[in-house]
Amino acid sequence: MVKNFLIIGMVCSTLFSSTLSYAQTKKVKTIIVDAGHGGEEPGAIGQYEGTLGTKEKDVTLAISLKLVKELKKQAPELTVVPTRTTDIYQNPKEKAKIANDAKGDLFICIHADAAALKTGKRQVGTRTVTRYKITYTGKGKNRKKHRTPYKVEEPVYHYYKLPTQRNGTSVWIFAAHKTSDKLKAIVSEEGDYDLAGHDDPEDAKVDFNSPEGRLIAQVYAKRYQEKSDFLATLINEEVEKTGRPALGVNQRQVGIWVLQATNMPAVLIETGFISNPEDERYISSEAGQQELAEVIAKAILRYKAQVENPPTAQNN
């Protein structure tokens, strides 16, 4: 909790000092690419029967590295800052600090989804077991119990996890509307800070009942929500063009701590489902990873073009 105030302090101090400069600075220069999970925290792991055993942390790193490369290639004028380039663990505070220290203009968080698996069973054979038939003879004091053994054939089952049907890419943003019920929801929300297993450390949560927490939510609503939503929409559109299921833009009031702790528009991309065979193979493959990197890069460059040259604004 104590360390948490460092970030809150950081967000708040920039908030009061940079309103003007923010309005003037319309260039999108620095992109932070965050590979989700890492090190001792693998994220989701392929567990269904026939899985490649993919670990989310490896997929997120591979896609992130390709995205960094792609952005540098397509837009050499950009500064691209990965939060990690190797298999290391960073807590959300470290990630947010890297992003905020680099004064990022966009925070791109790469993840992969997993849905809950059902268990299936199949018969793999039979085994012989001994059971006992119980009978009684006599009455009263002479009543006796008899156990007569007999053999039966019993089926033997093998239990396994079934893959999920659900597949595709979804984009998540942190949403906090200043005047709506949604802010109230943030303020009153307790528990359930978990997004598809991406639970943040206890001490990394923002206390939305505190004045600082409210401020963060309000700043987010004012400054970043619209832009985050815009980028998320562009990413969703680019995913659609590949023919894979584009699951849309999802808003989340709580649960994606790193998105609300970064002082910039931020999106989290669930690139595909590790629990789905087709998606698992796609996000584990060079070709799939490269396509995702290109999709995200394209959306970022469209975003950059729009923000720097809005069609309705005067360019002088």
Footprint (CB under 5 A) of Zn ion, residues 96-155:
111
Least distance to Zn ion, CB of residue 301, Å: 25
Candidates 163-171, 190-198, 245-253, 292-300; binding stretch for Zn ion (CB under 5 A): 190-198
Residue 111 CB, nearest approach to Zn ion (Å): 4
For the bound state, the minimum distance from the C-beta of residue 207 to Zn ion, rounded and expressed in Å, comes to 24
Near Zn ion in 60-99, by CB under 5 A: none
Give the binding-site size for Zn ion (rule: CB under 5 A): 4
Which CB, 198 or 214, lies closer to Zn ion? Answer: 198
For Zn ion, the nearest residue by Cβ is 111
Instruction: Closer to Zn ion by CB, 66 or 198: give it.
Output: 198
- From 7-15, 138-146, 166-174, 193-201, give the range in contact with Zn ion by CB under 5 A: 193-201
Query: What part of residues 15-44 is at the interface with Zn ion (CB under 5 A)?
Result: 36, 43
Report if residue 55 touches Zn ion, rule: CB under 5 A: no
Shortest Å distance, C-beta 113 to Zn ion: 8
Decide: is 198 part of the binding site for Zn ion (CB under 5 A). Answer: yes
Q: How far is the CB of 293 from Zn ion (least distance, A)?
A: 17
Min dist CB 109 to Zn ion, Å, is 9
Cβ-based nearer residue to Zn ion, 36 or 82: 36
Nearest residue to 179 via CA among 227, 225, 229, 248: 225
Q: Using the rule CB under 5 A, is 265 a contact of Zn ion?
A: no
Q: In 10 A of CB 86, how many CB atoms?
A: 10
Nearer to Zn ion, 109 or 219 (CB): 109
Nearest to 71 by CA among 83, 63, 80: 80
Phi, psi of 257 (to 5 degrees): -55, -45
For Zn ion, which is the closer residue by CB, 41 or 207? 41
> Which among 8-16, 78-86, 143-151, 194-202 is the span making contact with Zn ion, rule CB under 5 A?
194-202
Residue placing its CB nearer to Zn ion in the complex, 93 or 198? 198
CB 274, min distance to Zn ion, A: 9
The structure tokens listed for 27 are 């260039």
Residues that bind Zn ion (CB under 5 A): 36, 43, 111, 198
